């Protein structure tokens, strides 16, 4: 997954806010990060994010998960020699 500072920078560019607390919540292994990244639980997690951080943060949540998935895909493709 991209490091926290990459997510903070992306959020700042998109919204003018870093949403540091949100990004820490998403990636904090102690809080079951795999469940937070589970695409089947995105609707449930979106409701939580909206309640805690607001509507704009919901978009940042979804984009964070998307960025993490893209990063993992790239790593897997590199592992199998299919992406440089």
Quick: pLDDT tens for 31-52: 678 889 999 999 999 999 999 9
Neighbours of 57 (CB within 10 A): 22
Contact in structure between 65 and 37 (CB atoms under 8 Å) = yes
Q: What is the full per-residue pLDDT of the chain (84 aa) written as tens digits? A: 889 999 999 999 999 999 999 999 999 866 678 889 999 999 999 999 999 999 999 999 999 999 999 999 999 888 899 877
Non-local CB neighbours of 15 within 8 Å, separated by 6+ positions: 56, 60
pLDDT of residue 16: 97
| Domain range annotation of the chain | 4-79
Rg (CA), the chain: 13
């Amino acid at each position: 997954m991209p490091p926290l500072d990459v997510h903070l920078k992306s959020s700042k560019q998109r919204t003018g806010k870093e949403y540091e607390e949100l990004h820490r919540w998403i990636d904090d292994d102690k809080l079951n990060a795999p469940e937070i990244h589970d695409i089947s639980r995105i609707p449930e997690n979106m409701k939580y994010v909206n309640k805690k951080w607001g509507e704009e943060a919901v978009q940042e949540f979804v984009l964070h998960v998307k960025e993490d998935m893209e990063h993992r895909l790239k790593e897997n493709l590199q592992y199998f020699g299919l992406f440089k």
